[in-house]
A and B are shown apart, each in its own frame.
Chain A
Amino acid sequence: MSRIAKRFARLKADKRAGLVTYVTAGDPNLDVSYQILKGLPAAGADLIELGMPFTDPMADGPSIQLAGQRALKAGITVDATFDMVRRFRKETGDNDTPILLMGYYNLVYQRGPERFCKDAAAAGVDGFILVDLPPEEADELKPYAVAAGIDTVLLTAPTTDDERLPAVLKYSSGFVYFVSVLGITGTSSATEEAVRTHVERIKRHTELPIGVGFGIRTPDQAAAIARHADAAVVGSAIVERVKAGLDDHGKAKPDLVPGVFAYIKALADGVRGVRKA
C-alpha cells in the first residue's frame, strides 16, 4: 500500500476527512520553505502538496504565480525540491505523511519521465499532480510512475462528465482531485451543494478517495468540503500567508512561519470538527 493509500485508510478509520496543504517549494526562499515543510504535519496537514515553480503556470492565479516567482528568484530547482523532501524524511523521521509534487509537465519531460520518477521516489515523494497532463497524454508518464511506486493524481473538473470520467480514473491512483470551480487557483469558491453533487457523481465511478480543492480559504469552507469529500485541499490561501509574512524588501519576518502554521491549524480544526460515518 502506498503512503497515500495508507493515509486515507487511516483517516477513514479515524472517521474524518483529511487536510491537504499546498506550498510552493522554495517560497519565499529555500531555508524558510524547508522550515514550513518540516512543520506542516504538526500544524495539521494530513497530506502535503509541494509545488514545483514554473515560469508559465497557466492554471494558477496571482497568488501562486507570485509564489513561484519568489521561489525561482530564490534559486529553487527540481533537485533542490527533491532535496527538501529527502531532508524532510530524514530529519523528521516522518515516514507516513504523503508528499505529492504539483506542477507542470515540462519540468518532468526535460529530466525525462523515467528518471524523474526514479529520482522523485528515491527522495521520498509519493505522488504527482501534473496540471497539464490529462489522460490523453498520460501514457508517456504512467508506466514509469507505476514502476517507481509513485501515485498519479489526475484532476477532474466540473466539465469532466460521466462519459469522460472513466478515462481520467484509469490513470488515477492515490486519490482523485476534484477541481471544484471552473477557473484558476485562488479565485472563486464552489457552493457546498455543487461540491456534494459532483463528489457523489464521481463516487459512483470509483473507490478512490476524493480530494476537493480550488477556492477554499476559511476553516468553515474547509469543514463544508470535509462533510462531503475525503479531503480538502488548500493552496492559494496558505501561500498568501507566506506573502503576508514578508517585509517590504521581501525578507521573511520572524512571524512568517508561525503565522502559516496558525492558519493551517485553524483549517485543520475546521476539517477535524466534522465527524464522518
Chain B
Amino acid sequence: MAPETATLEGQQVAATPAKQPTRTDNFVFGIPQDGLQTKQREVPLDEPPPLPPNSELTYIGKPTQRYDGPAKATGKGKYTADVQLPGMLYARMVDATIPHGHIMSIDTSAAEKLPGVRAVYVIEHVYGVAELRNPKLDGPSRYPTIRYAGQPIAGVAATTQQIADDAAKLVKVRYDAKPFVVDRTEARATDAPAVFPGPADEAGSAGGGGGPADVPQKGNVHGPERRKRGDTAKGFAEADVLVESEYFTQVQTHSALETHGFVVDWKPDEVTVYASTQGTSSVRSEFADVFKLPKSKIRVITEYMGGGFGAKFGAGNEGVVAANLSRKANAPVKLMLDRRQEHIVSNRPDSHQMLKIGAKSDGTLTAIQLTSYGTAGVGTGAGTAGPATNMYKCPNLLTDEYDVFTNAGPGAAFRAPGHPQGCFAFEQTIDELAVKLNMDPLALREKIDESPARKVERQLILERTNWRNRKSAGSDPGPIKHGMGIAQSVWYRFVNMDSSCEVRVLRDGSVELMSAVQDLGGGTKTILAQIVGEEFGMAPANVVIRIGDTRYPIGPDSGGSVTAGSITPAVRDAAYQAKGKLFAAVAPALGTTADNLATQNGRVVFKNDPSKSYSLRQVTAKLPTDEISARATRVAEYSKDRLTYGGVDFVELAVDTETGRIHVEKVFGAHDCGRPINPTGVISQINGGMLQGISYALFEQRIMDDKSGYMLNANLENYKILGAREVPEIEVALIENYIAMSSTDAAGIGESAGIITLAAAIGNAFYNATGVRMRRIPMTPANVLAGLGKVQREVMA
C-alpha cells in the first residue's frame, strides 16, 4: 500500500481548487525536539487562523478526560447489541456446515412452524468475498456456491433469541459437497481443489483490504500485484552485502468484543439501521446499493460500538439479512453474530514472505526484493509490501504480492492492513543486515531512514531505554536469556473529504456539535469537544457532542487512521465560523464591532479594552435569535505533500529456552501523529496497538482442520488473546509533529500504534537473547522450541 498507489475508497486528497480566493498564513512546522520552524501556506480566505503549538493552547493537546467515560464506566452507553425497540425480534444467522459445494435444497418449514418464529430469509448473494469475473462459471443455482464453512446461508427472526437459536437449528440444508483446501501451501499446488472456478476479485472496503482486480490468476493463486522502482538487478550487483530471508505469519481474527451486528427497523418511509460499524456513511451507501433505496431514506445510528479494528464497514451479510427479516416480519430485528461466527467473518491474512536486500558496506540500501504469498481465504488483500516499499530510502525495488484463495472465511482490513506481516519480515531482515554489516541496528536505521520524526524517536529510544547496555546475541549463560530489540513502523496520511459537521450556539450559552462520524473507542467525541472548546473558550466536557447518526452532516468512515485528520479541521472551521456569526450578531448590543471580540480564558473580551469581558452566556443572551449555527466541510489539504507517520518501538524480553516461553518485560514506544489533540486518548490507543501486537506475535492463531475445513478454535478459550497477566511494563513517548496541512494538523494513530512493529521488535529481541532468528509467528512454546532446534518439527505449517 504505497502512498502513491493507495486508493482507499473515498479517501482522496483533493487539490485546492485553483480559483478559490486565498491568503498566505505562517504555520508552526516541525518537531519541537528539532526546533520548531515556520511554514507558509496558501489557505482559503475563510479558514481560521493558524493554531500555535500545543504548549500555547488551553484544551487542544492537553490530557483530557474521555467525553463518554462515565457512560462507559457505568454501563449506560448503548451499543448496537444493547438496542431494544418495541416489538423487536431477535435473529440468528444460519451458516454453512461444509467448506465447499453447492446447496441442493433448503427446507425452512420446520423453522417457520416453531412458535415465536416470525420470519426466515434465505440469502441470495454473499457480500464481502471475492466475486468471479465471469459469474456464469458457478453454474446455475438458486443459491450462492458455498466456499467456506461458516458462510452465511439464511437468517431466522423470532420473538426471543432462544427461539431464534432453536429455529436456526431447524433449517435443513442439503449440500453437494466438493473437494476443498484450507492450507495456503496446499492451495498453491496445480492440482489443488479450485476455490473459484475462474479468476475472482474482491473490491476494497473503506478500511482498506480487498486487492487488485487486473492481475493474472492461475488456479488459486491470484497475482502478482507487482511494484517496481529502479532496477533491482543493477542494485544487487552494486551491493557489498546481500541478505536473503524467509518469514511466515499466521491468520489473526479481529475478535472485537462486540460482534458484527445490526438492528434494522424497516419502515416504508425510512429504514433505521443501528450498526456496530466503523462507518455510518459506508453502511448507508451499501444499504442504498443493495436495496435500491435513496440514501435519504436510510438512517444509520452508531452511538457506541464495541471494537472494529478494520472489519466493520458497510452492510455486510448480517445487515442485509437483518433488513430482509425486518421487512418480512414488519418489525425491528436485531441480528448479532455469535462468537464462533465472529471468528469466521473476518481476519488478517497470513503470509509467506521471501526478502532479498542488498546494501553497501556503510549500510546504504541498493535494492529490495520481496515476494509474498498470503491467504485471505475467499477474499483478497494479503499483500505485505508496505513497509519494504515505504520505510527506507532505496532506489531499486521490486515487490510481487500474491493472494492464495482457500476455503476459509474472508480476510478484511485489519489495523494497518499488510503492515504487521510486512514489518515482521522486513524489520527483522534489516536487523539481519545490521548483523552482517556489524552495525548497531539503530545506527543502520539512522543511515537509511529519512523520516525526521523517526530520527527523534530513535533518539528517545537511546535516551530512555536500556538499549546502550545491550549484550551480544545469545550471550546470557543460563537457560533464561534476555534480549532487546527495536522495530519501526510506517503509515500514511489519508484524508476523507466526506467530513462535515454543524456547530450550534444557543441563546442560553450551550454549544452543540453534530456529525455522522462515529467513535470506535479511539476517543473521537473527546477530541471534537476539545476543538470546539478551544474555539469558544469553554471546557470540553461542557460542549455537547452528538455523533454517530447519519441525520447529522456526513462523517468520514473510520479506517486507515483517517478520522482525526479528516473531521477535526471541519469541526474547527465550523466552530470558528459559528463564533464569527455569534460575534457579528451580538456586537451591536455590546456596543462594539465583531472584529473587536475574542475569546480568552473562557471569556469573551474586547480586544481594545481587556477590562471589558463577559461570560459566553452573557454574550449569547444578546443573540437576536434563539440559535445560530455554522456548517463546514473538510477543506482540501494545505499542501499536496504525501506524508507518512510512524513510530519506533523497543522491547525487552526473556526467553526460557527450556520451556519455550517468552516473557515480554518492557515495551517503550516513541510515536508521532501530527499534532496530538488528546495525548491521553492517543496513549490509550498506542497501549492497545502494542498489546495487540504482542498478542499477534505470541499467542493468536486461527487453526483450520484440513479434514473438515472448520476453524477449530472459533472461541475465546482456544483462540488465545493476550490477557492481564501477559501485560508488560509499557511506556510511551508521544512527539508533536506539526505538518501545516489543515486547520488542526491532527492525524490518526490507530494503525501506527504498535500493532505494526511489535512482532518484529519481539523477533529482533528474541535474536538478541538467543542468537536464533524466529521466522514464524505466533512464537508459541512449540514454535519457539522448534526455532531453537529443541524439537524436531515446527508445529504450524
Partners in one complex: no
Residues of B at the A interface (CB closer than 8 Å) are none
